[in-house]
Copies of this chain bind each other. A is one copy, B any other.
Amino acid sequence: MFESDKLLDRINYEIRIRSEKFKTMQPAGLYSPVCYMLEMGGKRLRPMLLLNSYNLFSDSIDEAMPAALAIEVFHNFTLSHDDIMDKAELRRNRLTVHKQYSENSAILSGDVMAFLAYEFLMECNSEKIIDIIRLFTKTAVEICEGQQLDIDFENRFNVTEEEYIEMIRLKTAVLLACCLKSGAMLAGAPCKIVEQLYELGINIGLAFQLQDDLLDTFGNQEIFGKKIGGDILANKKTFLLVKALELSQPSVYKELMYWINNVSCIPEEKIKAVHDIFLKLNIREIAENKIYHYCRKSINVIEKIELDKTLKFHLESLIDNMLKRNI
């Protein structure tokens, strides 16, 4: 097995090569925002998952690299369009594409990234390629559905936990599952394991998104890398808010709605007030338990997979690393 650092270096190297090529392509107005997005960095979590999954069955990583890049390019397309929709101004401490360039640039360069993802994917010499394109396309449709649900939730105050989990399954988990599944498919893994890895990806994805929700309120700003409390300020229907709305008695519910509807208060004041309501309602512990629940499910799936013990251990530590983002 390749070490994680090595894999990440190779991914970043390949992205740099591709980005340099895009810089020479015309029209520059189309390809420059693509480079801008790709060079923003990030953890490259999705290509890492794909390559790690491939690496469980084969060492010839280069064969899977185009698919890994495809997923990263696709993911950046979704981020760029989501940022327009959310009117987000910053991503990873840099201006978002629509702020750095223009909304039209962000729409069009996002579109081309979606198609470039297919071009990258088709660089893979695999007899499974059509099945992988099918999986990738199904995943892309689901991610659009998830984003729409997220938008729909903005105007609703009765979102159930079940609805919330379905939303993050579509918006976040299916792509991680697609990574694990397509990596294994490319390596020619047996059908049964391929499906188990998909199931694993869903559970990891749910745990990952729930943890993201938790860190946005209870995280350590330096380690998390984003400003704490952003979700609270944006009234985002995170797991925390969904549960708080569900579990609060009339007086606390009223207090929560007061802060949600308050648009003129000092940001820090609102963050502190909602944070304290979450604590009062035990939401932090509820969220931690939910994350633990999906981690357990992940471990259970790994236990069932017919794989070498060392490989299973590798998978487990991969998940550990993903979810070991300090609170």
Contacts and interface: CB of A to CB of B under 8 A. Distances in A.
A149 interface: yes
A147 interface: yes
A119 B107 contact: no
A295 interface: no
Contact of A115 (B112, B129, B140): B140
Given A84-B107, A119-B138, A130-B130, A148 B114 contact: no
A169 interface: no
A85 B114 contact: no
Interface in A223-274: none
B29 A108 contact: no
A144 B107 contact: no
Nearest to A25: B145
In this complex, the interface size class of chain A, counting residues with CB under 8 Å from chain B, is 20 to 34
Interface string A133-156: 110011011001101110110000
A104 interface: yes
Contacts of A57: none
A141 B129 CA distance: 20
**Central interface residue in A27, A84, A140, A147, by most chain B CB within 10 Å:** A27
A107 B81 CA distance: 8
Given A27-B148, A114-B115, A122-B133, 14 more contacts: A85-B104, A108-B144, A108-B151, A112-B144, A115-B140, A115-B141, A116-B141, A118-B118, A118-B133, A118-B137, A119-B138, A122-B130, A122-B134, A122-B137
Interface of A: 26-27, 29-30, 81, 84-85, 104, 107-108, 110-112, 114-116, 118-119, 122, 129-130, 133-134, 137-138, 140-141, 144-145, 147-149, 151-152
